[in-house]
Amino acid sequence: MTELIRLLTRAQKLLRTASDDAMSRHGVRVGQNLVLEVLWETDGLTPGELASRLHVTTPTVVNTATRMESAGLLVRRRDPADGRLVRLYLTPKAQAARQPIEEARRRLAEHATATLTDDERRHMRSALEKIIKRMTESPPDLGDA
Amino acid sequence: MTELIRLLTRAQKLLRTASDDAMSRHGVRVGQNLVLEVLWETDGLTPGELASRLHVTTPTVVNTATRMESAGLLVRRRDPADGRLVRLYLTPKAQAARQPIEEARRRLAEHATATLTDDERRHMRSALEKIIKRMTESPPDLGDA
DNA sequence: TACGAATCGTTTGCATGCTAATGACTCTGT
DNA sequence: ACAGAGTCATTAGCATGCAAACGATTCGTA
């Protein structure tokens, strides 16, 4: 089964690279795009909220947010009700980039999966869901050591 | 189809993290493990050869090799016939780590895919191969810009 | 044979991830 | 009301990837 995982890793890397290339044409890197996708739907989230939705750590979001702030894509604002919280708000520049970026992402996904049959899509989806469920719920049993 | 790709990304990340955890118990990080797997089969490759086999860039291999050299896993040796080349040779320490690491990797793969049906494995494999083929052969068509 | 082009590895600087340590603020219990 | 505990964001340091610039060696050709 290690071969299956090798294929999964390779495919994901190719997709990530292609995505980064596509996003770069719109002045956004691949990691920043993930932040945008969430904030386009729900603006004004905190770094911690964003981190849990993206399945990354808070420091990762903080660093990405800092780069995005330098790039003029978002602004930080302290929460008036709770001084520990910072809220991230998209700028008009980030709002304006929404349509072309979403379109580019959609096109890339269509392109990558264009040759798959319905059976392949269906079974790949259920297989991936099972793997995710397994990895999040069941202890991977890391031998002795 | 963007949902399918999201699942693929999520699954791959979970697998990579679990792999890094498992490898760390043997004093090796996930990126270094990939180098080991190739050199266990073919010792004495150059950074460039290694890079093309691993689908990464040469600087990535050079940096990883430097860390592995510090960790006592390999040594650099100049090629006597061609002074431009550097060859990477595994130390006894790296050779000794082979069995436990390969075993850990195999167990992790079995665990992650344990609940998949034969249909899911088969179709997922062919779907991934198609995606890889598509991304390596066909131009992703990055709109205008 | 000697010089320019090609081929390598390395260095540098960046983006994206992590963990651990730090600092600021809020909340709880007495 | 206030001290300690808990909750945030941030900073620092590392690993893994990339591209671009650089340096050393070899090859091809005039």
Residue A142 has pLDDT above 70, yes or no: no
Tens digits of residue pLDDT in A102-119: 999 999 999 999 999 999
Give the mean pLDDT of A82-92. Answer: 97
Amino acid, single-letter form, for residue B38: V
CA of B86: nearest nucleotide by C1' is: C9
Domains within chain B, CATH numbers bracketed? 15-109 (1.10.10.10)
Q: List protein-proximal bases of chain D (any atom < 7 A from a CB).
A: 6-13, 15-21, 23-27
Residue B4 has pLDDT above 80, yes or no: yes
DSSP state of B87: E
CA of A40 to C1' of C11 (A): 39
- A107 and B26 within 8 Å at the Cβ level: the answer is no
Confidence category of residue B60, pLDDT binned at 50, 70, 90 = very high
Q: List protein-proximal bases of chain C (any atom < 7 A from a CB).
A: 7-13, 15-21, 23-27
Q: What is the pLDDT of residue B143?
A: 57
Give the torsion through C-alpha atoms of B100, B43, B16, A22, to 10 deg: -170
Confidence category of residue B50, pLDDT binned at 50, 70, 90 = very high
